[in-house]
Amino acid sequence: MQVNMHEAKSQLSALGEKVWKGEKVVIAKAGKPYLDILPHKEDRSPRKPGRYKGKIHITDDFDQTPEELIRDFEGRD
């Protein structure tokens, strides 16, 4: 569901209820998606650092970016 900013201001409570029931609500500004309304989740578990330890491999040449690729990103010839 997409609503404009003015409609969202006047119907915020009803939109909040829809979000809690699982509906996706997007607030638009000038006809383009601007904000998503999401329910607050109090009991999110804390992040556990290291859960991917040993599962990700970074090659030795990871930091060696080819000059051609850098030129392409920077728009140089």
Residue 39: closest CA among 53, 63, 58, 23: 23
What pLDDT is attached to residue 16? 94
SS3 category, 17: helix
Beta-carbon contacts of residue 19 (< 8 Å; ≥ 6 apart): 25, 37, 38, 39
What pLDDT is attached to residue 45? 81
SS3 category, 57: coil
Integer angstrom CA distances of residue 70 from 20, 32, 35, 77: 46, 33, 34, 10
Cβ 11 vs Cβ 29: under 8 Å: no
Give the domain 1-39 fold: YefM-like fold (3.40.1620)
The structural domains of the chain, with segments of one domain joined by +, span 1-39
Q: Could you tell me the pTM of the whole model?
A: 0.52
Print pLDDT tens along the chain (77 aa).
Answer: 999 999 999 999 999 999 999 999 999 999 999 999 999 888 778 888 998 999 999 999 889 998 999 999 998 87
